[in-house]
Amino acid sequence: MSVPAQLIELRNVTKSYGSVCVLAEVSLIVDKGESLAIVGPSGSGKSTLLQIIGTLDRVTSGEVLLDGKNLAALNDLQLAQVRNRQLGFVFQSHYLLPQCTVLENVLVPTLARQRAQGRGQKVETSESRAMRLLKRVGLGERLHHRPGQLSGGERQRAAVVRALINRPQLLLADEPSGALDHASATSLGQLLVELNKEEGVTLIVVTHAMDLATRMGRVVRIEDGKLMESGMTDKFALRTPHSALK
């Protein structure tokens, strides 16, 4: 039986703000292609954990490996490259640029990428990917609308396409449906699960919504700084990080 490769490994990660310990010795493995929900009470450290995985925050102690790379060994420029090339983010707020069209907004991450690479992808390639994905999420008729002309659900779907435009390995979503009505939240959740499979992108979603959480392959829970496996919802087995077995 082949074991899928690990994308993320957290080894005994602790995060403290002064004397306040938010994450205590958290260990977690996420395999390539997995979909994972992180749940837990408000203030339990879910966003902190997502930001650490997303290289937006550094640990107090412990290690984070992303596709075999130890993030502590990377400087700020290298971390920015990791974010641009390997990661996609979706937040509760869409953060679309109000003066730009939907299509322009989803192409913004490709500009940084072209500059970083010197020559980069052909603009046509990014544009055709953008248009294909926008059609895929039901925004084919909204390419030239501005964010202010979209519904909340449409704005979040545009934000999802922007997060996927550079073909990231990992999509990180923090309460992506938190500001949506129930129907829009349900369809966004469904869309994320479908894109996880279609695009082969590993998905980690922080959510309070159990119906969104249970759509993911696996659910973990944070409480009092500790992370607990809270169950499997499909084929992925519970896995203990190797370091925790020592």
Ligand X SMILES: Nc1ncnc2c1ncn2[C@@H]1O[C@H](COP(=O)(O)OP(=O)(O)OP(=O)(O)O)[C@@H](O)[C@H]1O
Q: Which region among 38-46, 123-131, 151-159, 191-199 touches ligand X (by CB under 6 A)?
A: 38-46
Residue 45 partner contact from ligand X, Mg ion, none using kind-dependent CB cut-offs of 5 to 8 Å: ligand X
Task: Tell me if 19 contacts ligand X by CB under 6 A.
Answer: no
Count interface residues toward ligand X (CB under 6 A). Answer: 10
Residue 43 partner contact from ligand X, Mg ion, none using kind-dependent CB cut-offs of 5 to 8 Å: ligand X
Among the listed residues 245, 220, 216, 243, the one whose alpha carbon sits nearest the alpha carbon of residue 230? 220
Residue of 48, 101, 169, 196 that binds ligand X (CB under 6 A): 48
Buried b (16+ CB within 10 A) or exposed e, 169-181: bbbbbbbbbbbbe
Residue of 1, 2, 19, 42 that binds ligand X (CB under 6 A): 42
Extract the tokens encoding 26.
Answer: 């958290």
For tokens 């974010």, what's the residue? 83
Give CA–CA dist 146/241, Å, rounded. Answer: 45
Task: Tell me if 47 contacts Mg ion by CB under 5 A.
Answer: yes
Nearest approach, Cβ of 218 to Mg ion (angstroms)? 19
For tokens 């879910």, what's the residue? 46
Look at residue 97 and give its three-state secondary structure: coil
Task: Count the Cβ atoms, other than its own, within 10 Å of residue 97.
Answer: 13
Give me the residues paired with residue 171 across strands. 88, 203
Query: Phi then psi for 29, rounded to 5 degrees?
Result: -120, 130
Task: Tell me if 43 contacts ligand X by CB under 6 A.
Answer: yes
Nearest approach, Cβ of 206 to Mg ion (angstroms)? 6
Residue 22 partner contact from ligand X, Mg ion, none using kind-dependent CB cut-offs of 5 to 8 Å: ligand X
Chain positions contacting Mg ion, by CB under 5 A: 47
Chain positions contacting ligand X, by CB under 6 A: 17, 22, 40, 42-48
